[in-house]
Structure 1
Amino acid sequence: MADSRSQSSPRQARAIAGLWKSLAGRRLATLWCLSRLAGPLVHRFSRREREVTEINLGEVYPARSTAERRRLARESLTHSTATMLELGFAWMGDPERVEASIQAVHGRELLDEARAEGRGVIVLAPHFGNWEVLNFWLSSHFPFTAMYEPPKIAELDAVTRAGRERMGASLVPTNPRGVAALLKALKRSEAIGILPDQEPDWGSGVFAPFFGRPAYTATLLPKLVARTEARVVTGVARRIPGRGFELHFLPADTRVYSPDEAESATGVNACVEAAIALDPAQYQWEYKRYRKVVEEQQGHPRHQEFRLY
């Protein structure tokens, strides 16, 4: 079995990389048409993605009808499909074409003002729209550092890293050495990127409300703010289907600056909620955001897996 996996993985990686390369020069309108064809198939045949998406939508939008949530689930999986098909465009497409696809940048002054004041900028970049286009723009216009975790298919590491670094981004590992690199970048008044909506390992987060339900949330942000006085903004690349993208940089919820980790994490989740409000269908709802829960047992927290999934 081990030999079979090791032999199939390179073939799979070559096929995926070849698909991205073949799509890199296609028009965004073509990629969106492909997404609209493939998205409903993903919704119908990818049971895991469909079920997790619908469960999450039921948790965060309980007041909406079942029909509305199912429609939103189909739209969300179509946008997720578009993001995957657009990776070749973002990573391998002609840089001038990628830059031209960004039709507007809202809130850039938040970044410029912070740097003019000699402060670093922490960009909270949730899984919304096409976050690789956001990375392209940030690394094109600012010294930019982001944490990087290699893909599950190891043979795609070189392709992924090259795509994300091609406009000058500096990628650092998700370990103490990477955190030290982020701190140094902020002290140089540069910009860094953080994913605010991934569950960290136990011991690296706290529970904070996300759409009213406790979600285990990373506590890296307050540590970085406390040591650098950086400004925090939320950044997303909202898709204009078939035509391009609009970047939105939003002021952070003021609670992110609290030295209290739980309060700061609450602010981080509020930032993600504000980004989702731009267009809920463009958020990647198939991620198990509520996987961990805390139950009180004899006065002590007990960690368990969230039973909905």
Structure 2
Amino acid sequence: MVKTKDRTREKSGRAAWKFEAPPAPTLSDLRAGGERRKAWVKYHLTDNVQNVLDLATHFGLKLIPIEACSAIGARLARFAVPRWHKVALQRARANIRELKPDWSDAEVEAAVWRNFDNQGRLMTEFSVLEELVPKGRVTFHNTEPAQAAAAAGPVILLALHLGNWEVLAPGIVALGIHPTDNHVPPKQRARAWIANRVRERIGIRFLPAGVEAIRPAIKILKAGGAISIFGDEGFQKKIMAPFFHREPHLEGNLAIAVRLARHTGATIVPGYVLRTRGCRFELHGITPITLPPTDDPAGRLREDVMMLNDAIEPVILAHLDQWYFIDNRLH
């Protein structure tokens, strides 16, 4: 996918982003030579080799036991990270040291490698994602308030990138909630196809990527439905949320969630998944958040955003070893 700046700007001055799939190079590009020929070769030949490998890996991993599938991902991470992701490794160490100043070097190092093990596992676990809830590998904690909120009216499910966050989708559907998801498809065509196929089979619908998701999201919420959006986020390898000890901003998903909730009356329902051991998980609900009444939503925006941040930040701080963005830049 490619990002293009939309002319529409928020009051903060940040340009909104659109996501568009790049067009496939044509035979005229092949004949043109130069960079256009290289683009044709990459799209139709080189990339398709990787696409075949991705598809073979995805369907091949379905043929082995669930625990073995997950363990392969951890082994691959242990092999790949110190060789090809040295910068990410250094950032993860530095961030954990800063966020956990009372931890010893041994505790930091152990947390770093638990984190990369988790990241490796979640990549291969996509092949068995549909099996985890039916086979009893997910337990549910404090999810009744989320079900009650969804039954009463529109909800914005505020997800976190903890554990294997993809488990949230089948878990939420198992609770009887069918959200429409805000997501950015992977750049690789086969991986995008796999992700869409798995999520659709689970029962998840999709919003358009980028700024074009806003109008359909509002329509769904005004009809009493549910959408999901991630509250924690990284952009261009920098941690955008939570804020931790940094100056808050109004340019991320937390502000979007607040604006949508104010516009539609939706309840904000945070939730997350933690890995317990191997390929077993807990799905946790956080107490739903109803924004307090106000005659000045714009004037309260910062305060409302901090309310959401204060709900998710302690959870992430408690589980940095399972947080996806720990290897992004904190400053």
Is 1:274 matched up with 2:314?
yes
Q: Read off the aligned partner of 2:109 and give its amino acid letter.
A: R
Is 1:103 matched up with 2:138?
yes
Kept in 2: contact 1:30–1:242 (CA 8 A): no
CA displacement 1:14-53 (0-9 Å, x = unmatched): 2122212111243332134324433332342221321232
* 1: CA distance, partners of 2:103 / 2:289: 26
1:136: Cα distance to partner?
1.9
Is 1:61 matched up with 2:100?
yes
Kept in 2: contact 1:24–1:86 (CA 8 A): no
Q: Read off the aligned partner of 1:153 and give its amino acid letter.
A: Q
> What is the correspondence of 1:87-102 to structure 2 with a 5 Å cutoff?
87-90=126-129, 93=130, 95=131, 97-102=132-137
Is 1:210 matched up with 2:243?
yes
| Paired position in structure 2 for 1:223 | 259
Describe the SS at the equivalent of 1:262.
helix
1:223: Cα distance to partner?
0.9
Distance verdict in 2 for CA 1:193–1:255, change over 3 Å = same
Is 1:158 matched up with 2:193?
yes
Q: Read off the aligned partner of 2:66 and give its amino acid letter.
A: L
Is 1:2 matched up with 2:35?
no
Distance verdict in 2 for CA 1:38–1:176, change over 3 Å = closer
Equivalent of 1:184 in 219, 224, 227: 219
* 1: CA distance, partners of 2:188 / 2:279: 31
CA displacement 1:244-276 (0-9 Å, x = unmatched): 221111125677998423223323333332332
* 2: CA distance, partners of 1:209 / 1:168: 29
| Paired position in structure 2 for 1:40 | 78
> What is the correspondence of 1:110-259 to structure 2 with a 5 Å cutoff?
110-117=145-152, 119-140=153-174, 141-199=176-234, 210-214=243-247, 217-218=252-253, 219-252=255-288, 259=297
* 2: CA distance, partners of 1:169 / 1:243: 22
- In structure 2, the gaps of 5 or more residues are 1-37
Describe the SS at the equivalent of 2:103.
coil
1:105: Cα distance to partner?
1.0
* 2: CA distance, partners of 1:148 / 1:125: 12
Equivalent of 2:57 in 1, 19, 23: 19
Distance verdict in 2 for CA 1:115–1:197, change over 3 Å = closer
* 2: CA distance, partners of 1:248 / 1:66: 30
Describe the SS at the equivalent of 1:64.
coil
Distance verdict in 2 for CA 1:170–1:287, change over 3 Å = farther
Describe the SS at the equivalent of 1:160.
helix
Q: Read off the aligned partner of 2:90 and give its amino acid letter.
A: E
1:174: Cα distance to partner?
2.6
Distance verdict in 2 for CA 1:52–1:14, change over 3 Å = farther
Describe the SS at the equivalent of 2:231.
coil
Distance verdict in 2 for CA 1:149–1:243, change over 3 Å = closer
Q: Read off the aligned partner of 1:72 and give its amino acid letter.
A: A
CA displacement 1:202-245 (0-9 Å, x = unmatched): xxxxx876221236533201111101222212212222222522
1:177: Cα distance to partner?
3.3
Distance verdict in 2 for CA 1:32–1:174, change over 3 Å = closer
* 1: CA distance, partners of 2:200 / 2:192: 12
* Structure with the greater alpha carbon radius of gyration: 2
The farther-off stretch of 156-165 and 29-38 is 29-38
Q: TM-score, normalised by structure 1?
A: 0.80
Distance verdict in 2 for CA 1:209–1:99, change over 3 Å = closer
* Coordinate RMSD, CA, aligned: 2.7
1:159: Cα distance to partner?
1.8
* 2: CA distance, partners of 1:278 / 1:156: 31
The farther-off stretch of 241-250 and 253-262 is 253-262
Describe the SS at the equivalent of 1:152.
coil
Describe the SS at the equivalent of 1:233.
strand
| Paired position in structure 1 for 2:328 | 288
* 2: CA distance, partners of 1:3 / 1:286: 36
Kept in 1: contact 2:178–2:204 (CA 8 A): yes
